[in-house]
Amino acid sequence: MPSPKSAIDQLEQKLGVSWSNIAKARRATDTSRSILQKAFAGRVAADTSVVIFGSIARKEVTSGSDADWILLVDGQAFPEHENQTHDVAEILERRKFAKPGRSGIFGGMVGSHSLVHEIGGEDDTNSNTTRRVLLLLESFAVGDLAAYKRVRRQILNRYVQDDHGLLFGKGPLKVPRFLLNDFTRYWRTITVDFVYKQRADSGKKWALRNAKLRMSRKLVFVSGLLRCFFCHLDPVAKATHRELVKQHDPTGLLNYLEVELATTPLELLARAALRPGCRRTTAKTLFDSYDAFLGILDNQRQRNELSNLRTDQLESSIVWKNVRHLSHPFQAGLTDLFYGPDEDLKRLMIDYGVF
């Protein structure tokens, strides 16, 4: 039997269009993932997983994509884990994957304790929040997957079990507010950190970071909103509500969320765009602009220009103007998706996304 069409493929068919850059990025991702899976087969211990973030996880690989990664350790710490960390870095370097940035968030060993137990409070640093949220929204594990699956399940379990309104609330809506609030906090954190990095790095890579903030980073946040909203909207998720209402048992919801986390942000956006309440023009605007964005990132000359632009050169850069101009319809499309004719999405956005 042929595999079912993805939501992006269905949307292309519905609109009678073809997004070549999105398709190219998906093919490039398949190649990168295949290389990684072969490289790390049998190379990591049972209590660890190599976790890849960024474009490889989102299936948006372009010619300049790097490989943000961590060695996730779920268990007792051993000196050998440090050797594994060096081994991961060497394997990726030999296969020509670009190194992670200098922020220190990626490119090293990370224990599961802080990810699971330090949600909120003074010990939940920006780095810890970023790793935890991206572990849910845009991650792909290679090698042994057991540690990766355990940690994600326990993180989700914390978000759901500690959400008393979700488990014991009497209202008809079952949206994981604790989880949603942390997704929102992450988005606000990276927008503030963008300005900090601008000052700390003397404006280096400002245009490229800004472009990603307008497009791919915003898409990741949108996917977080949709994952939480679909817990109420998706008929598959609604079947779990009975367990929550009558037995206060979150098992069904946890299982649903785990499956949903395998969906990439762009695929999830396509599912939302396929809803009857989304205008055809809105769906086309969203994906036309994102396709053009991936095309810019895949053009090495244009990507390099964005990386090297100084702030005093922005007004003279055609590439930067193109990024800025295509980000406006993307934002307009998101606004219409969440506040337009789809009354269910609008109500959820007002009730949960605003206040």
CATH number for the domain spanning 146: value is 3.30.460
Of the three residues 113, 133, 162, the one that is the final residue of a domain is: 162
Residues 226-271: pLDDT tens digits?
999 999 999 888 878 777 777 888 899 999 999 999 999 999 999 9
Whether residue 260 sits in one domain with residue 139: no
Whether residue 225 sits in one domain with residue 141: no
For residue 112, what pLDDT is reported? 96
H or E segment and range at residue 267: helix 265-273
Of the three residues 162, 192, 227, the one that is the final residue of a domain is: 162
For residue 244, what pLDDT is reported? 78
Give a yes or no: residue 2 inside a domain.
no
Whether residue 197 sits in one domain with residue 98: no
Give a yes or no: residue 5 inside a domain.
no
Lowest mean pLDDT among 97-101, 121-125, 153-157, 227-231: 97-101
For residue 257, what pLDDT is reported? 94
Residue found by looking up tokens 């042929």 in the block: 2
- Report the C-alpha gap between 266 and 296 in whole angstroms: 17
Inter-axis angle of helices 280-298 and 206-214, nearest 10: 160
Name the pLDDT band for 202 (thresholds 50, 70, 90). low
Whether residue 62 sits in one domain with residue 25: yes
The count of structural domains within the chain is 2
Copy the structure tokens of residue 16.
């009678």
For residue 203, what pLDDT is reported? 63
Residue 2 pLDDT exceeds 60: no
Whether residue 320 sits in one domain with residue 212: yes
Whether residue 139 sits in one domain with residue 35: yes
Residue 350 pLDDT exceeds 70: yes
Whether residue 58 sits in one domain with residue 126: yes
Residue found by looking up tokens 């898409």 in the block: 219
- Report the C-alpha gap between 136 and 159 in whole angstroms: 12
H or E segment and range at residue 48: strand 48-53
Give a yes or no: residue 244 inside a domain.
yes
Give a yes or no: residue 250 inside a domain.
yes
Three-state DSSP class for 90?
helix
H or E segment and range at residue 110: strand 108-111
Whether residue 245 sits in one domain with residue 341: yes
Whether residue 267 sits in one domain with residue 184: yes
Residue 97 pLDDT exceeds 70: yes
Whether residue 256 sits in one domain with residue 157: no
The parent domain of residue 344 ranges over 176-355
Give a yes or no: residue 221 inside a domain.
yes
Give a yes or no: residue 169 inside a domain.
no
Q: Are 39 and 87 spatial neighbours (Cβ–Cβ below 8 Å)?
A: no
Closest by CA to 309, choosing from 298, 299, 321, is 321
For residue 100, what pLDDT is reported? 84
Residue 321 pLDDT exceeds 90: yes
Give a yes or no: residue 315 inside a domain.
yes
**Mean pLDDT taken over the chain:** 92
For residue 92, count other CB atoms closer than 10 A to its CB. 23
Rounded mean pLDDT of 328-337?
98
Structure-model confidence comparison of residues 330 and 96, the more confident one: 330
Give a yes or no: residue 7 inside a domain.
no
Whether residue 340 sits in one domain with residue 279: yes
Closest by CA to 77, choosing from 105, 110, 103, 44, is 110
Whether residue 113 sits in one domain with residue 186: no
Of the three residues 128, 162, 196, the one that is the final residue of a domain is: 162
